Amino acid sequence: MPYSPIRKLVPYAREATARGIKIYHLNIGQPDLPTPQKALDALKTLDRKTLEYSPSEGFLSLREKITGYYGRFGLDIKPEEIIVTTGGSEALQLIFMSCLNPGDEIIIPEPAYANYISFAIAAGLVIKTVTSRIEDGFALPPIEEIEAKIGPRTKAILICNPNNPTGYIYSAEEMEKLRRIVLKNDLFLISDEVYREFNFSGQPYVSAMSLKGITNNIILVDSMSKRYSECGIRIGNIVTHNKDVRDVLIKYCQARLSPPLLGQIVAEASIEGTEVYSKECFDEYKARRDFFIDGLNKIPGVHTPMPQGAFYTVVSLPVEDAEDFSRWCLEEFDYEGQTIMMAPAAGFYTTKGLGQNQVRMAYVLKIEDLKKALEVLEKALEAYNHR
C-alpha cells in the first residue's frame, strides 16, 4: 500500500510551519472558495432531535435532487439508480469490491489519481496501465495500446474525466473509441466525473452515461466535494442503470450502515438555487488556470500543457528527482519566509520510473497567492540547481 503523493510530505510541511514558514499549498485539491451560503444555512438551522442513521442507499430526497442535477446535462437518471456514498472515494472502493474479484485486472490510463492505485490494491486487483504522455497533452493513449492490455481476467476500464491529475478532457471521438472497446470485450467502464462542472475546453462535455449501446456496462462516480467546496461533508454517489450491480453494491452499503447524515443535509441544500454560485466558481477557476499555466511556462525549464478542465496540472520541472526537490522546498528552502508544497507526480504513475521530474499542482489558491507561489518556485529551482 503506497503513501499518497498528495499527503506524504505533510510531516515536512508541519515542521516548516512550526519554523514560521508560510506554505503555498499546491499539493492538494482543497478549494479555497466558500461553500454556498444556502448549504451552510441548512446546517445552522438544523431542527432535529436525533441525528439518526439514514437509509444505506442515502435519503430519497437527496437522490431525487441529484436526478434533477443530472437532467441539466441531458442525463435521464432515476433515484433508484443512485447510491449515496461517503465521498467519491468510498464509491470507488464499493465498485471495485462489487464488480471485480481479487486477481481481476483493471485498465487505468496513467498518470492517474493516486488513490485509484490504493483502492485497487486494497481490493486485490491487478492494475494494467496505459500511459498518457505530457508531449501529447495527456490525451487518451492509442486504442491499440488499450486493446493490447486486455486479457482473460480484464474486467474494467477506469477513467477520470475531466482528469485528475492532468486536467485533460476526453473528446467525443475518444469516448466513442472507449465505447467500442467496452462493447467488444464486455467490460465495465467506470467513469469518475467529479470535475464535470469545470470544463474549460469550449466543447460539449461527453459523460460516459450518454454513450449508447453499453448501458449496463457504465458505472458513474460522482462527488459534491469540488463543485460546492464541500470536501469535508464526505458525500458522493454512484450511478448505474445495471440493477445486478446495484444489488451487490447495496449489500456493501448495508454493511457500512449509512452515508453521513449531516453531509447529506448540506448536499441536498446545495444542488438547487446555487446556479449563480456555480458560474462564479467556474469563472474564478478559469481565470486562475489561465494565469497559473501562463506563469509556469514562463519559468525556464518548466513545461505544462494547458489543462482543459478540473483544477490540476502535471508539470515537468528542470530537476532529476521532483520528490527530492519537493521535500527540499519544505525542509531547507524559503524565499522571504515563503515556500511551496507540491505533489510528486511519480506517485500518480504505476509504471516505475515515470514522472520522476514531474509534479502535480492544484490551482486552488487566489491569483494573488498563485503569483507569489510562482515567484517562490522560480527562486527555488534556481537555488536547488546551483547547490
Q: Mean of the pLDDT values across residues 275-300? A: 97
- Asked whether residue 5 is domain-assigned, the answer is no
Amino acid letter for position 73 = F
Domain end, chosen from 215, 243, 271, is at: 271
Task: State how beta strands 236-239 and 82-85 pair.
Answer: antiparallel
What is the helix (H) or strand (E) element at residue 313, kind and residue range?
Answer: strand 312-316
3-state secondary structure of 310: coil
Q: Mean of the pLDDT values across residues 90-97? A: 98
Place of cell 498528495: 6
The answer to whether the CB of 267 falls within 8 A of the CB of 230 is: yes
Q: Mean of the pLDDT values across residues 330-352? A: 96
- Indicate whether 89 and 139 sit together in one domain: yes
Q: Which domain holds residue 24?
A: 10-34+276-384
- Indicate whether 174 and 77 sit together in one domain: yes
Specify the pTM: 0.96
- Indicate whether 344 and 370 sit together in one domain: yes
Question: Under 8 Å CB-to-CB from 58, ≥6 apart: which residues?
Answer: 82, 83, 84, 85, 237, 258, 259, 264
- Asked whether residue 3 is domain-assigned, the answer is no
- Asked whether residue 187 is domain-assigned, the answer is yes
Half-sphere exposure of 58 (CA within 13 A, CB side): 31
Is the confidence at residue 4, as pLDDT, over 90? no
What is the helix (H) or strand (E) element at residue 221, kind and residue range?
Answer: strand 218-223
Q: Is 202 left (phi over 0), alpha (psi -120 to 50) or beta?
A: left
Which of 197, 193, 159 has its CA nearest to residue 177?
159
- Asked whether residue 336 is domain-assigned, the answer is yes
Cβ neighbours of 88 (radius 10 Å): 25
The answer to whether the CB of 157 falls within 8 A of the CB of 106 is: yes
Portion of the chain with pLDDT greater than 70, in percent = 100
Residue-averaged pLDDT of the chain: 96
- Indicate whether 288 and 254 sit together in one domain: no
Instruction: Please report which confidence band the pLDDT of residue 302 belongs to, taking 50, 70 and 90 as the band edges.
Output: very high
3-state secondary structure of 380: helix
Domain total of the chain? 2
380: CATH? 3.90.1150.10
3-state secondary structure of 314: strand
- Indicate whether 233 and 303 sit together in one domain: no
- Indicate whether 233 and 121 sit together in one domain: yes
- Indicate whether 126 and 185 sit together in one domain: yes
- Asked whether residue 2 is domain-assigned, the answer is no
- Asked whether residue 95 is domain-assigned, the answer is yes
Domain end, chosen from 236, 271, 306, is at: 271
Task: State how beta strands 22-25 and 338-341 pair.
Answer: parallel
The Cα–Cα gap between 342 and 362 comes to 8
Is the confidence at residue 2, as pLDDT, over 90? no
